[in-house]
Protein backbone atom coordinates (compact mmCIF):
# COMPACT_ATOMS: atom_id res chain seq x y z
CA UNK A 1 0.00 0.00 0.00
CA UNK A 2 1.47 3.35 -1.06
CA UNK A 3 1.01 6.36 1.16
CA UNK A 4 -1.07 9.20 -0.29
CA UNK A 5 0.85 12.44 -0.68
CA UNK A 6 -0.36 15.98 -0.04
CA UNK A 7 -0.31 17.81 -3.37
CA UNK A 8 -1.49 21.18 -2.14
CA UNK A 9 -2.31 22.93 1.11
CA UNK A 10 -4.80 25.72 0.57
CA UNK A 11 -4.03 29.05 2.25
CA UNK A 12 -5.91 30.21 5.34
CA UNK A 13 -7.21 26.71 6.13
CA UNK A 14 -7.00 24.46 9.21
CA UNK A 15 -4.39 22.31 7.41
CA UNK A 16 -2.10 25.29 6.86
CA UNK A 17 -2.50 26.38 10.48
CA UNK A 18 -1.54 22.86 11.60
CA UNK A 19 1.69 23.01 9.59
CA UNK A 20 0.87 20.53 6.83
CA UNK A 21 2.95 20.96 3.67
CA UNK A 22 2.86 19.76 0.08
CA UNK A 23 4.88 16.56 -0.13
CA UNK A 24 3.83 15.26 3.30
CA UNK A 25 2.85 11.57 3.22
CA UNK A 26 -0.33 10.60 5.05
CA UNK A 27 0.20 7.62 7.35
CA UNK A 28 -2.98 7.61 9.46
CA UNK A 29 -5.81 9.75 10.84
CA UNK A 30 -6.84 9.22 14.46
CA UNK A 31 -4.76 6.06 14.35
CA UNK A 32 -6.70 4.63 11.40
CA UNK A 33 -4.97 3.96 8.07
CA UNK A 34 -7.46 4.97 5.32
CA UNK A 35 -7.52 2.79 2.21
CA UNK A 36 -9.15 5.34 -0.07
CA UNK A 37 -10.31 8.93 -0.27
CA UNK A 38 -13.83 7.93 0.79
CA UNK A 39 -12.62 6.63 4.14
CA UNK A 40 -10.25 9.60 4.40
CA UNK A 41 -13.15 12.02 3.93
CA UNK A 42 -15.15 10.35 6.69
CA UNK A 43 -12.19 10.55 9.07
CA UNK A 44 -11.46 14.23 8.48
CA UNK A 45 -15.11 15.17 8.87
CA UNK A 46 -14.64 14.72 12.64
CA UNK A 47 -13.60 17.67 14.73
CA UNK A 48 -9.87 18.08 15.48
CA UNK A 49 -8.52 14.99 13.66
CA UNK A 50 -4.99 13.88 14.53
CA UNK A 51 -2.80 13.38 11.45
CA UNK A 52 0.13 10.97 11.45
CA UNK A 53 2.47 12.12 8.69
CA UNK A 54 5.86 11.37 7.18
CA UNK A 55 8.07 14.21 5.94
CA UNK A 56 11.40 13.44 4.28
CA UNK A 57 11.47 10.06 6.03
CA UNK A 58 10.65 11.41 9.49
CA UNK A 59 7.33 10.51 11.16
CA UNK A 60 5.42 13.06 13.23
CA UNK A 61 1.87 13.85 14.34
CA UNK A 62 -0.20 17.02 14.45
CA UNK A 63 -3.79 17.88 15.36
CA UNK A 64 -5.77 19.85 12.80
CA UNK A 65 -8.13 22.05 14.77
CA UNK A 66 -11.48 22.38 13.00
CA UNK A 67 -15.17 22.01 13.60
CA UNK A 68 -17.01 18.83 12.64
CA UNK A 69 -17.86 18.87 8.94
CA UNK A 70 -15.63 21.84 8.05
CA UNK A 71 -13.22 21.40 5.11
CA UNK A 72 -9.61 20.79 6.01
CA UNK A 73 -7.91 22.42 3.04
CA UNK A 74 -5.63 19.89 1.33
CA UNK A 75 -5.59 17.98 -1.96
CA UNK A 76 -4.13 14.48 -2.22
CA UNK A 77 -2.40 12.79 -5.14
CA UNK A 78 -4.58 9.66 -5.26
CA UNK A 79 -8.11 8.40 -4.68
CA UNK A 80 -7.26 4.76 -3.98
CA UNK A 81 -4.50 4.27 -1.42
CA UNK A 82 -4.26 0.47 -1.31
CA UNK A 83 -4.70 -1.00 -4.78
CA UNK A 84 -7.17 -0.48 -7.60
CA UNK A 85 -9.27 -3.59 -8.16
CA UNK A 86 -8.44 -4.52 -11.75
CA UNK A 87 -10.83 -6.21 -14.14
CA UNK A 88 -10.43 -9.96 -14.67
CA UNK A 89 -12.99 -10.11 -17.48
CA UNK A 90 -11.89 -10.44 -21.09
CA UNK A 91 -14.86 -8.87 -22.86
CA UNK A 92 -14.49 -9.28 -26.60
CA UNK A 93 -16.03 -5.84 -27.14
CA UNK A 94 -13.79 -3.99 -24.65
CA UNK A 95 -12.40 -0.87 -26.33
CA UNK A 96 -9.14 -1.15 -24.36
CA UNK A 97 -8.32 -4.24 -26.43
CA UNK A 98 -8.88 -2.10 -29.54
CA UNK A 99 -6.28 0.54 -28.70
CA UNK A 100 -3.04 0.73 -30.69
CA UNK A 101 0.24 0.20 -28.82
CA UNK A 102 2.32 3.09 -27.55
CA UNK A 103 -0.38 5.25 -25.98
CA UNK A 104 -0.44 6.58 -22.39
CA UNK A 105 -0.15 3.77 -19.84
CA UNK A 106 -3.30 4.87 -18.00
CA UNK A 107 -5.41 4.19 -21.09
CA UNK A 108 -4.72 0.47 -20.84
CA UNK A 109 -5.79 0.11 -17.19
CA UNK A 110 -8.93 -2.00 -16.81
CA UNK A 111 -10.52 -1.37 -13.43
CA UNK A 112 -13.48 -3.13 -11.87
CA UNK A 113 -13.48 -1.24 -8.57
CA UNK A 114 -16.77 -0.20 -6.97
CA UNK A 115 -14.98 2.75 -5.31
CA UNK A 116 -14.11 4.22 -8.70
CA UNK A 117 -17.69 3.59 -9.75
CA UNK A 118 -18.89 5.68 -6.81
CA UNK A 119 -16.28 8.41 -7.21
CA UNK A 120 -16.11 8.82 -10.98
CA UNK A 121 -19.00 6.95 -12.54
CA UNK A 122 -16.85 4.08 -13.89
CA UNK A 123 -18.84 0.97 -14.75
CA UNK A 124 -18.17 -2.22 -12.79
CA UNK A 125 -19.29 -5.75 -13.69
CA UNK A 126 -19.38 -6.86 -10.00
CA UNK A 127 -17.49 -10.05 -10.89
CA UNK A 128 -14.90 -9.21 -8.20
CA UNK A 129 -17.43 -7.86 -5.70
CA UNK A 130 -17.52 -9.57 -2.27
CA UNK A 131 -19.65 -9.75 0.86
CA UNK A 132 -17.22 -7.35 2.51
CA UNK A 133 -17.67 -4.89 -0.35
CA UNK A 134 -21.44 -5.16 -0.10
CA UNK A 135 -21.31 -4.56 3.65
CA UNK A 136 -19.27 -1.40 3.20
CA UNK A 137 -21.37 -0.01 0.35
CA UNK A 138 -24.59 -0.53 2.30
CA UNK A 139 -23.22 0.75 5.60
CA UNK A 140 -21.69 3.88 4.06
CA UNK A 141 -24.45 4.30 1.43
CA UNK A 142 -21.96 4.57 -1.42
CA UNK A 143 -24.28 5.39 -4.25
CA UNK A 144 -24.91 5.90 -7.01
CA UNK A 145 -22.94 3.01 -8.46
CA UNK A 146 -22.69 2.12 -12.14
CA UNK A 147 -22.97 -1.53 -13.21
CA UNK A 148 -22.37 -3.17 -16.60
CA UNK A 149 -25.19 -5.64 -17.17
CA UNK A 150 -25.04 -6.38 -20.94
CA UNK A 151 -27.49 -9.31 -20.65
CA UNK A 152 -29.58 -10.85 -17.90
CA UNK A 153 -29.29 -14.33 -19.44
CA UNK A 154 -26.49 -15.85 -17.31
CA UNK A 155 -24.94 -17.87 -20.13
CA UNK A 156 -24.87 -14.98 -22.58
CA UNK A 157 -23.49 -12.59 -19.96
CA UNK A 158 -20.80 -15.07 -19.00
CA UNK A 159 -19.83 -15.52 -22.64
CA UNK A 160 -19.74 -11.76 -23.23
CA UNK A 161 -17.51 -11.17 -20.23
CA UNK A 162 -15.50 -14.32 -20.92
CA UNK A 163 -15.69 -14.97 -17.23
CA UNK A 164 -17.73 -17.74 -15.61
CA UNK A 165 -18.50 -15.44 -12.67
CA UNK A 166 -20.45 -13.27 -15.08
CA UNK A 167 -23.24 -15.83 -14.85
CA UNK A 168 -23.78 -15.22 -11.13
CA UNK A 169 -22.40 -11.78 -10.27
CA UNK A 170 -25.68 -9.97 -10.92
CA UNK A 171 -26.80 -11.34 -7.55
CA UNK A 172 -24.82 -8.43 -6.13
CA UNK A 173 -26.91 -6.02 -8.19
CA UNK A 174 -30.06 -7.44 -6.62
CA UNK A 175 -28.53 -7.12 -3.15
CA UNK A 176 -27.49 -3.51 -3.75
CA UNK A 177 -30.93 -2.53 -4.99
CA UNK A 178 -32.62 -4.36 -2.12
CA UNK A 179 -30.50 -2.23 0.24
CA UNK A 180 -31.78 0.90 -1.54
CA UNK A 181 -28.42 1.75 -3.11
CA UNK A 182 -28.97 3.80 -6.27
CA UNK A 183 -27.57 1.95 -9.28
CA UNK A 184 -27.38 2.89 -12.95
CA UNK A 185 -26.83 0.08 -15.45
CA UNK A 186 -25.36 -0.28 -18.91
CA UNK A 187 -25.76 -2.59 -21.88
CA UNK A 188 -23.15 -2.54 -24.65
CA UNK A 189 -25.24 -3.67 -27.58
CA UNK A 190 -23.48 -6.08 -29.93
CA UNK A 191 -25.31 -7.19 -33.10
CA UNK A 192 -26.01 -10.95 -33.24
CA UNK A 193 -24.95 -11.33 -29.58
CA UNK A 194 -27.19 -9.38 -27.19
CA UNK A 195 -29.45 -7.27 -29.40
CA UNK A 196 -32.85 -8.18 -30.83
CA UNK A 197 -34.54 -10.98 -28.88
CA UNK A 198 -31.79 -11.04 -26.23
CA UNK A 199 -32.27 -7.31 -25.67
CA UNK A 200 -36.02 -7.91 -25.29
CA UNK A 201 -35.31 -10.53 -22.63
CA UNK A 202 -32.85 -8.27 -20.80
CA UNK A 203 -35.27 -5.34 -20.65
CA UNK A 204 -38.22 -7.51 -19.63
CA UNK A 205 -36.24 -9.25 -16.87
CA UNK A 206 -34.85 -5.93 -15.65
CA UNK A 207 -38.40 -4.79 -14.89
CA UNK A 208 -39.22 -8.01 -13.02
CA UNK A 209 -35.88 -8.73 -11.31
CA UNK A 210 -34.38 -5.25 -10.86
CA UNK A 211 -37.31 -2.81 -10.76
CA UNK A 212 -35.38 -0.46 -8.43
CA UNK A 213 -32.66 0.09 -11.04
CA UNK A 214 -32.50 3.85 -11.61
CA UNK A 215 -31.61 3.77 -15.31
CA UNK A 216 -30.27 1.33 -17.87
CA UNK A 217 -28.28 2.89 -20.69
CA UNK A 218 -28.07 1.00 -23.97
CA UNK A 219 -25.04 1.99 -26.02
CA UNK A 220 -23.89 0.51 -29.35
CA UNK A 221 -20.70 -1.47 -29.79
CA UNK A 222 -17.74 0.69 -30.72
CA UNK A 223 -15.19 -0.85 -33.07
CA UNK A 224 -11.78 0.47 -34.03
CA UNK A 225 -9.62 -0.75 -36.89
CA UNK A 226 -7.51 -2.54 -34.28
CA UNK A 227 -10.35 -4.92 -33.38
CA UNK A 228 -9.18 -8.55 -33.50
CA UNK A 229 -12.54 -10.22 -32.99
CA UNK A 230 -13.70 -11.17 -36.51
CA UNK A 231 -17.34 -11.85 -35.61
CA UNK A 232 -17.90 -8.43 -34.01
CA UNK A 233 -19.64 -5.92 -36.23
CA UNK A 234 -21.52 -2.65 -35.94
CA UNK A 235 -25.23 -2.04 -36.35
CA UNK A 236 -26.71 -1.33 -39.72
CA UNK A 237 -29.06 1.69 -39.65
CA UNK A 238 -32.03 -0.70 -39.98
CA UNK A 239 -30.82 -2.78 -37.03
CA UNK A 240 -30.31 0.35 -34.94
CA UNK A 241 -33.87 1.42 -35.73
CA UNK A 242 -35.22 -2.03 -34.79
CA UNK A 243 -33.40 -2.05 -31.46
CA UNK A 244 -34.70 1.46 -30.76
CA UNK A 245 -38.24 0.15 -31.31
CA UNK A 246 -37.57 -2.52 -28.69
CA UNK A 247 -36.18 0.04 -26.24
CA UNK A 248 -39.12 2.42 -26.74
CA UNK A 249 -41.62 -0.41 -26.23
CA UNK A 250 -40.05 -1.45 -22.94
CA UNK A 251 -39.68 2.16 -21.82
CA UNK A 252 -43.46 2.35 -21.81
CA UNK A 253 -43.76 -0.98 -19.98
CA UNK A 254 -41.26 0.17 -17.36
CA UNK A 255 -43.08 3.46 -16.88
CA UNK A 256 -46.33 1.59 -16.25
CA UNK A 257 -44.71 -0.91 -13.87
CA UNK A 258 -42.26 1.25 -11.93
CA UNK A 259 -43.17 4.89 -12.55
CA UNK A 260 -39.94 5.54 -14.46
CA UNK A 261 -38.78 4.73 -17.97
CA UNK A 262 -35.51 3.10 -16.83
CA UNK A 263 -34.28 2.32 -20.36
CA UNK A 264 -32.39 4.97 -22.31
CA UNK A 265 -30.77 4.60 -25.69
CA UNK A 266 -27.47 6.13 -26.67
CA UNK A 267 -27.45 9.18 -28.90
CA UNK A 268 -25.29 7.18 -31.32
CA UNK A 269 -28.13 4.74 -31.96
CA UNK A 270 -30.48 7.58 -32.90
CA UNK A 271 -27.93 9.31 -35.11
CA UNK A 272 -26.97 6.05 -36.82
CA UNK A 273 -30.61 5.12 -37.41
CA UNK A 274 -31.49 8.62 -38.62
CA UNK A 275 -34.19 8.97 -35.95
CA UNK A 276 -34.79 12.15 -33.94
CA UNK A 277 -33.79 11.93 -30.29
CA UNK A 278 -36.71 11.85 -27.81
CA UNK A 279 -37.75 14.74 -25.52
CA UNK A 280 -36.06 15.48 -22.19
CA UNK A 281 -38.64 13.49 -20.22
CA UNK A 282 -37.21 10.25 -21.66
CA UNK A 283 -33.83 10.77 -20.00
CA UNK A 284 -34.70 10.60 -16.26
CA UNK A 285 -32.91 13.87 -15.38
CA UNK A 286 -30.02 13.00 -17.77
CA UNK A 287 -28.49 10.57 -15.27
CA UNK A 288 -26.35 8.96 -18.00
CA UNK A 289 -25.42 12.13 -19.86
CA UNK A 290 -21.69 11.37 -19.68
CA UNK A 291 -22.33 7.92 -21.12
CA UNK A 292 -23.38 9.61 -24.37
CA UNK A 293 -27.08 9.40 -23.51
CA UNK A 294 -29.10 12.60 -23.80
CA UNK A 295 -26.23 14.84 -24.86
CA UNK A 296 -27.96 15.74 -28.12
CA UNK A 297 -31.27 16.51 -26.40
CA UNK A 298 -29.48 18.57 -23.72
CA UNK A 299 -27.71 20.53 -26.49
CA UNK A 300 -30.97 21.23 -28.32
CA UNK A 301 -32.80 22.14 -25.09
CA UNK A 302 -30.03 24.56 -24.15
CA UNK A 303 -30.34 26.18 -27.57
CA UNK A 304 -34.10 26.56 -27.07
CA UNK A 305 -33.59 28.23 -23.66
CA UNK A 306 -30.97 30.65 -24.95
CA UNK A 307 -33.21 31.66 -27.85
CA UNK A 308 -35.96 32.36 -25.32
CA UNK A 309 -33.63 34.47 -23.20
CA UNK A 310 -33.32 31.96 -20.35
CA UNK A 311 -30.07 30.95 -18.68
CA UNK A 312 -28.36 27.76 -19.74
CA UNK A 313 -28.11 24.75 -17.44
CA UNK A 314 -25.97 21.65 -17.76
CA UNK A 315 -26.56 18.08 -16.53
CA UNK A 316 -24.84 17.11 -13.28
CA UNK A 317 -21.47 15.42 -13.64
CA UNK A 318 -21.48 11.67 -12.98
CA UNK A 319 -20.00 10.43 -9.70
CA UNK A 320 -19.30 12.03 -6.34
CA UNK A 321 -15.70 13.20 -6.76
CA UNK A 322 -16.63 16.90 -7.00
CA UNK A 323 -18.03 16.73 -3.48
CA UNK A 324 -14.67 15.39 -2.28
CA UNK A 325 -12.02 18.05 -2.85
CA UNK A 326 -9.21 15.60 -2.05
CA UNK A 327 -10.19 13.20 -4.85
CA UNK A 328 -7.98 13.98 -7.85
CA UNK A 329 -9.63 13.90 -11.25
CA UNK A 330 -6.50 13.02 -13.19
CA UNK A 331 -6.44 9.41 -14.33
CA UNK A 332 -10.19 8.88 -14.00
CA UNK A 333 -11.86 12.18 -14.91
CA UNK A 334 -10.30 14.06 -17.83
CA UNK A 335 -9.03 17.46 -16.65
CA UNK A 336 -10.46 20.03 -19.05
CA UNK A 337 -8.41 22.46 -21.05
CA UNK A 338 -8.89 26.06 -19.97
CA UNK A 339 -8.71 28.66 -22.74
CA UNK A 340 -8.57 32.44 -22.81
CA UNK A 341 -10.95 34.61 -24.83
CA UNK A 342 -10.40 34.05 -28.56
CA UNK A 343 -8.73 36.79 -30.56
CA UNK A 344 -10.91 38.85 -32.86
CA UNK A 345 -10.26 37.78 -36.45
CA UNK A 346 -12.18 38.35 -39.66
CA UNK A 347 -13.80 35.33 -41.27
CA UNK A 348 -16.18 32.61 -40.13
CA UNK A 349 -15.79 30.51 -37.00
CA UNK A 350 -14.99 26.93 -37.95
CA UNK A 351 -16.29 24.30 -35.53
CA UNK A 352 -14.11 21.18 -35.64
CA UNK A 353 -16.04 18.03 -34.74
CA UNK A 354 -16.51 14.35 -35.50
CA UNK A 355 -18.92 12.79 -37.97
CA UNK A 356 -21.66 12.40 -35.36
CA UNK A 357 -21.16 15.96 -34.11
CA UNK A 358 -21.54 17.24 -37.66
CA UNK A 359 -24.92 15.52 -38.01
CA UNK A 360 -26.12 16.90 -34.68
CA UNK A 361 -24.99 20.48 -35.21
CA UNK A 362 -25.78 20.82 -38.93
CA UNK A 363 -29.55 20.79 -38.35
CA UNK A 364 -29.37 23.77 -35.97
CA UNK A 365 -26.50 25.66 -37.59
CA UNK A 366 -28.66 28.57 -38.84
CA UNK A 367 -29.98 29.09 -35.30
CA UNK A 368 -26.44 29.06 -33.87
CA UNK A 369 -25.30 31.61 -36.45
CA UNK A 370 -28.15 33.92 -35.51
CA UNK A 371 -27.37 33.72 -31.80
CA UNK A 372 -23.64 34.17 -32.39
CA UNK A 373 -24.05 37.06 -34.82
CA UNK A 374 -21.29 35.49 -36.88
CA UNK A 375 -20.87 33.12 -39.79
CA UNK A 376 -20.19 29.56 -38.62
CA UNK A 377 -19.22 26.53 -40.65
CA UNK A 378 -18.44 22.94 -39.68
CA UNK A 379 -15.25 21.01 -40.29
CA UNK A 380 -15.93 17.31 -39.85
CA UNK A 381 -12.81 15.28 -39.05
CA UNK A 382 -12.96 11.55 -39.92
CA UNK A 383 -11.31 9.43 -37.25
CA UNK A 384 -8.61 7.72 -39.29
CA UNK A 385 -6.53 7.06 -36.19
CA UNK A 386 -9.04 4.61 -34.67
CA UNK A 387 -11.07 3.88 -37.80
CA UNK A 388 -14.07 1.59 -37.55
CA UNK A 389 -17.23 3.34 -36.42
CA UNK A 390 -15.38 5.72 -34.07
CA UNK A 391 -17.06 9.04 -34.81
CA UNK A 392 -17.69 10.81 -31.47
CA UNK A 393 -16.05 14.14 -30.67
CA UNK A 394 -14.46 12.83 -27.48
CA UNK A 395 -12.21 10.45 -29.45
CA UNK A 396 -10.98 12.96 -32.03
CA UNK A 397 -7.19 12.75 -32.09
CA UNK A 398 -4.65 15.45 -32.79
CA UNK A 399 -3.12 13.94 -35.90
CA UNK A 400 -6.55 13.74 -37.55
CA UNK A 401 -7.28 17.36 -36.57
CA UNK A 402 -3.96 18.48 -38.07
CA UNK A 403 -4.75 16.59 -41.27
CA UNK A 404 -8.17 18.23 -41.41
CA UNK A 405 -6.79 21.73 -40.82
CA UNK A 406 -4.12 21.34 -43.51
CA UNK A 407 -6.68 20.28 -46.11
CA UNK A 408 -9.26 22.91 -45.11
CA UNK A 409 -9.32 25.47 -47.90
CA UNK A 410 -12.34 27.48 -46.75
CA UNK A 411 -12.16 30.88 -45.04
CA UNK A 412 -11.52 30.83 -41.28
CA UNK A 413 -11.38 33.46 -38.58
CA UNK A 414 -11.02 31.01 -35.72
CA UNK A 415 -11.05 27.23 -35.28
CA UNK A 416 -13.06 25.88 -32.34
CA UNK A 417 -12.13 22.51 -30.84
CA UNK A 418 -14.31 20.52 -28.38
CA UNK A 419 -12.85 20.32 -24.89
CA UNK A 420 -13.91 16.67 -24.56
CA UNK A 421 -11.15 15.72 -27.02
CA UNK A 422 -8.41 17.11 -24.78
CA UNK A 423 -6.87 16.26 -21.45
CA UNK A 424 -5.50 19.66 -20.50
CA UNK A 425 -3.39 20.32 -23.63
CA UNK A 426 -3.02 16.78 -24.98
CA UNK A 427 -5.17 14.71 -27.32
CA UNK A 428 -5.59 11.00 -26.70
CA UNK A 429 -2.91 10.19 -29.31
CA UNK A 430 -0.39 12.35 -27.38
CA UNK A 431 -0.50 15.14 -29.95
CA UNK A 432 -0.25 18.49 -28.17
CA UNK A 433 -2.59 21.41 -28.66
CA UNK A 434 0.51 23.44 -29.54
CA UNK A 435 1.09 21.22 -32.59
CA UNK A 436 -2.50 21.71 -33.71
CA UNK A 437 -2.24 25.48 -33.28
CA UNK A 438 0.94 25.48 -35.37
CA UNK A 439 -0.84 23.70 -38.22
CA UNK A 440 -3.83 26.07 -38.32
CA UNK A 441 -4.12 29.10 -40.58
CA UNK A 442 -6.27 30.92 -38.01
CA UNK A 443 -6.33 31.13 -34.19
CA UNK A 444 -7.47 28.02 -32.33
CA UNK A 445 -9.65 28.01 -29.21
CA UNK A 446 -11.03 25.17 -27.12
CA UNK A 447 -14.70 25.37 -26.14
CA UNK A 448 -16.93 23.45 -23.75
CA UNK A 449 -19.12 21.08 -25.75
CA UNK A 450 -22.33 23.00 -24.99
CA UNK A 451 -24.22 25.71 -26.81
CA UNK A 452 -22.98 28.32 -24.33
CA UNK A 453 -19.41 27.12 -24.73
CA UNK A 454 -19.65 27.21 -28.49
CA UNK A 455 -21.22 30.65 -28.59
CA UNK A 456 -18.69 32.00 -26.13
CA UNK A 457 -15.88 30.85 -28.39
CA UNK A 458 -17.25 32.19 -31.69
CA UNK A 459 -18.79 35.52 -30.65
Same-domain pairing of 100 and 70: no
* One domain for residues 188 and 284: yes
pLDDT of residue 336: 62
* One-character DSSP codes across 52-119: EEEETTEEEEEE----TT----EEES-SBSS---B-----TT-GGGGSPTTS-GGGG--B--HHHHHH
Q: Is residue 390 part of a domain?
A: yes
Same domain, 229 and 366: no
pLDDT digits (tens, 9 = 90+) for 262-308: 999 999 999 999 999 999 989 988 999 989 999 999 999 999 999 99
270 and 376 part of one domain: no
How does DSSP classify residue 76? E
pLDDT tens sequence across 342-352: 555 678 999 99
- 28-85 pLDDT per residue, tens: 999 999 999 999 999 999 999 999 999 999 999 999 999 999 999 999 999 999 989 9
Tell whether 171 and 103 lie within a shared domain: yes
Q: What is the mean pLDDT of residues 433-448?
A: 94
165 and 289 share a domain? yes
Same domain, yes or no: 24 and 127: no
What pTM value is reported for the model? 0.92
pLDDT exceeds cutoff 90 at 318 = no
> What confidence tens digit (pLDDT) does each residue in 119-140 have?
999 999 999 999 999 999 999 9
- Is the pLDDT at 152 greater than 90? The verdict is yes
- Quick one: pLDDT band at residue 207, thresholds 50, 70, 90? very high
Residues 63 and 111 in one domain: no
Cis peptide before 426 (omega within 30 of 0): no
Q: Is residue 312 part of a domain?
A: yes
Report if residue 331 sits inside a domain.
Answer: no
Examine the domain organization and report whether 131 and 191 are in the same domain: yes
Residue span of the structural domain in which 403 resides: 349-458
The confidence score (pLDDT) of residue 236 equals 96
Query: Is position 234 within any domain?
Result: yes
Q: What is the pLDDT of residue 322?
A: 65
Model confidence over 218-235: pLDDT tens digits? Answer: 999 999 999 999 999 999
pLDDT band at 341 (very low <50, low <70, confident <90, very high): low
Amino acid sequence: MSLPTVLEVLPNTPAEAAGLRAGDELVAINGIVPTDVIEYQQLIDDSNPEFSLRRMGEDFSTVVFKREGDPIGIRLNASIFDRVQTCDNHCEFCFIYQLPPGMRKSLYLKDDDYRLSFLYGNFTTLTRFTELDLSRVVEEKLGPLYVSIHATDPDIRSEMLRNRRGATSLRWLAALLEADITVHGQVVLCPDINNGAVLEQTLAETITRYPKLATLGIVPLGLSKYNKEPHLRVHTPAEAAKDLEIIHFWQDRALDATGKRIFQASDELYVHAGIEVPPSSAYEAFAQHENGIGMVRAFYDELDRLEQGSSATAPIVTGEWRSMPAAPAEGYRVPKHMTADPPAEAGPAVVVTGLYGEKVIASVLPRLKKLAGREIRLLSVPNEFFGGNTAVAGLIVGEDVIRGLRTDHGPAGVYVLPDVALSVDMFIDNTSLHDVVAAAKAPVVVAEATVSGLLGAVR
